[in-house]
Every structure is written in C-alpha cells, then in structure tokens.
Copies of this chain bind each other. A is one copy, B any other.
C-alpha cells in the first residue's frame, strides 16, 4: 500500500504511471482541497475531479483539463445572461458538481461523495480529500487579496503574489482514512504538483506535516521543477516570488525534513550533489511522463 500526496494534473499523471506497474487498489491519493471553490452555489473540487477524470480515462486531452466530449451549452447561456462565466464549467462536468453538491447538502462528506463518483467511473485507486473541513488557499497579491480560482483562472496566475494563506487549515483535521493511509503506507510519494499551492495546503491540515516528518525515510518527492521551470502552471514563478529557489534544490529545501528522497529530472543531474549535501537521497530519471515507457520508469524509480 502506498500513498500519494496529490494536487491536480501532475499528480493525476503520476498516479496513472503508478497504475502501469502496480495494482491501482494498492494506491491511495491524498488530495488537496485548498483550491475547492463554491461557484453558483456548487461545490467544485478541481484537484479531485482532475485525478478521477484522468484515472477514469475521461480527461479532455485537447484542453488539458475537464472531461472528454464536453459541450458548453450552460456556459454559453450563462455568458449571455451576463453571469460569472470566467470559470468554465462544461455540461458533463456540471453534472459532477450538481451530484456532489446535492449529496453534501444531504449530509454526505466529500470523502463519501468522492468514493461514490469513483465507484461510478470505475476508478480503482482510492482518492481521499485530505480533510472534510473547508480550507481555502488565498493569495495576497499586487492587486489585492484573491481566492484560489480568481488567482489561477480569472487572472491566469499572472499577478505578483506576496503571500499565500490556507484559510481554515489550522483548525482543520485530516480524515481518519487519510491518517491511516499516512501511518500504514510502506511508501509515501509527494507528486510533482506545485509545492506551494497543491502540496503545502495538504501539509497545513492538522498534523499532516508532523505525520509526514515521522515517515521521512519512506517519503519520496518528485520535483515539479525541471531546469528551473515548471512543466505547467506557476510553480517556478511562485517559488521565486516567495523567496525560494526555482530549482530542484529549492524543491529539496521546501521538503527538507519531510522527504528522505527527491526524484529529479536528467536535466538537473548536476544539482544532485547540492541536494545530497542537504541530507536527502537523490534519484535522477526522466520525470516528464511524455510516453508510457518514461511513465513506467518514473513509477519504478519512486517505488524502488
């Protein structure tokens, strides 16, 4: 049994890669909910949805997010009405949010709804929201405070960030299932997700950081930074803006005390010694999961 700390796209790809080399039933993903958003009254969980859609093979490859075969009738009408249509919700995707919101209003937890949706889609990997409490990652930026999706989608993460706060994290607790997974897994993998806005909100929930630190020797992180840049999203820019080095070394420093091993890309091989000097083991491989061979090799490395 292994556990993967997960954001959205990078984590979805890593889990899909792990599925190539092990039984998906033996994988638990502990998923960030700091970017969950209430829009139009609907509870939307972008990271949980990205992972479940991807593992179900329903992901939209052209867009890089959302569902395949999507249509946009509701959004077209909402735009006509002058509604807040900056967060694109496809018609198929909306059904997920209607289902989740209705079930939550009926008293179900996010954990339960996630299980129901995964069962429906035949997703065998166990997806667990890190907490059933409400947490919200927010940004103090050059244009004022922004909610996660305002920063990420409405402003295309193209504003300078001064600070990131995970509202509600201090009083939140990881679910029983998350705690058990973190305690019982033979290996804990930190996915190549954004350290600051995907992984850190998970770490800030209750005592997750302490739980992880106590498992340090079994924790393997995959660097989302390759050759000083993020494959996707604002990880490099945010690292710089918040005083970190936007390199694999910066990632190593960020996970110092939590991860015993860092997996970095071939392009960063020359940084291995610097990272090892910080007391962290290093594995060098191709971390870009561009084809099934690379994906399988990365999976084998993080499990080795």
Contact = CB atoms under 8 A, between A and B. Distances in A.
A83 B103 CA distance: 8
A38 interface: yes
Contacts of A41: 40-43, 98, 101-102, 104-105
Interface in A245-295: none
Interface in A111-127: 116-117, 120
Contacts of A73: 71, 73, 91-92
A32 B38 CA distance: 28
A99 interface: yes
A242 interface: no
A98 B120 contact: no
Interface residues of A, number: 33
Contact of A81 (B75, B84, B91, B96): B96
Given A82-B120, A83-B95, A120-B82, A40 B77 contact: no
A176 interface: no
Contacts of A76: 95
A91 B77 contact: yes
A211 interface: no
Contacts of A1: none
Interface of A: 38-43, 71, 73-78, 80-84, 91-92, 94-99, 101-102, 104-105, 116-117, 120
